[in-house]
Structure 1
Amino acid sequence: MNAAIAIAVIIVAVAFAVLVVYMAMALKATQRTLNNVSDTLESVEKQLEGITTETTLLLQKTNDLAEDVNYKVAKLNSVFEGIEGIGESFNNLSNSLKKLTSSLNDEEEVNKAKEAVKWGSAILNIWKNRNN
């Protein structure tokens, strides 16, 4: 019986040793995997730093561009306001010329009427003088 117990203890010891070896191998593989994950995360972190820097620069350039566009739009607004003023001035000038032309036409008509009255009066005087 002592021999059976000794054999059982040896079998248990060998099984435990095999279990420990497999556990050590599994832990080594897990350690390699975790090291790879760590390296990958460090690489991703460096890439994210680069992307963050580039994104910050891009946002700054976008803000500068938007500010420049707003500045130029403001300048264009004043140009269009000036053009609007010129257009209104031309419209006023055109209206004034229309009124002046109309006034000259009315004055011309009055002068023609005066001339017609003078001629009519002269013809009437000549006719009266002949009949007398």
Structure 2
Amino acid sequence: MEWLMSVSVAVIAVAFVLFVIYSISIFISIKKTMVNIYATVEDLKGEMEGVKKETEQLLHKTNRLADDIQHKSNSLNSVFDAAEDLGQTFQHVNQSVKKVSYAVSKQADEQSEQVAQAVKWGNVILEFWSKWQAKKAEKAAKAESTVTSRGE
């Protein structure tokens, strides 16, 4: 039975040696993985620093753009206020024109008969004046023809 004990101890020793060798290869593999992870984290840290700087620059540009837009918006407010005032002025002018037009129309309606009479009298006067001019021209033509017929 002694030999069984020796064989068992030898098997245990071989198993322990295999376990140690296997564990060492695992630890070496873990060390390589950790070195790769460290290198990746360092690269990522550098890239994150670059992204951080770009993000800060973008944030500053965005803030400047927002300030510029705010300034221009405030400038446009005065333009819109002026346009609103102009619209109100046109509205007042339009109302004034309507009032004047209504007053003129009302007065024209009230005085339309007087205007019609004035137009009739104007036509009569023009007719008399035309007839007077025609008679005057006729007398002048007769006088001229009399003078020319005597001088012959």
Aligned pairs (5 A) from 1:15-94? 15-94=15-94
- Equivalent residue letter for 2:41: L
Percent identity of paired positions between Structure 1 and Structure 2: 32
* Inter-CA distance 15–83: structure 2 relative to 1 (3 Å threshold): same
Q: 51-60 or 83-92: which moved more?
A: 51-60
- Equivalent residue letter for 2:46: K
2:104, 2:56 → 1: CA distance? 71
* Inter-CA distance 16–101: structure 2 relative to 1 (3 Å threshold): closer
Per the normalisation by structure 2, the TM-score is 0.59
- Equivalent residue letter for 1:40: T
Unmatched tracts of structure 1, length 5 or more? 117-132
2:105, 2:7 → 1: CA distance? 140
* Inter-CA distance 89–10: structure 2 relative to 1 (3 Å threshold): same
2:4, 2:94 → 1: CA distance? 129
Unmatched tracts of structure 2, length 5 or more? 117-152
Q: How many residues align?
A: 117
1:4 CA drift (Å)? 7.1
1:62 CA drift (Å)? 1.9
1:49, 1:22 → 2: CA distance? 40
1:90, 1:3 → 2: CA distance? 123
* Number of the residue aligned with 1:130: none
Please provide the CA RMSD for this pair.
3.1
Task: Indicate the SS of the match to 1:21.
Answer: helix
1:110, 1:7 → 2: CA distance? 143
1:41, 1:115 → 2: CA distance? 103
Higher Rg of the two aligned structures: 2
* Inter-CA distance 16–108: structure 2 relative to 1 (3 Å threshold): closer
* Counterpart check, 1:102 vs 2:102: yes
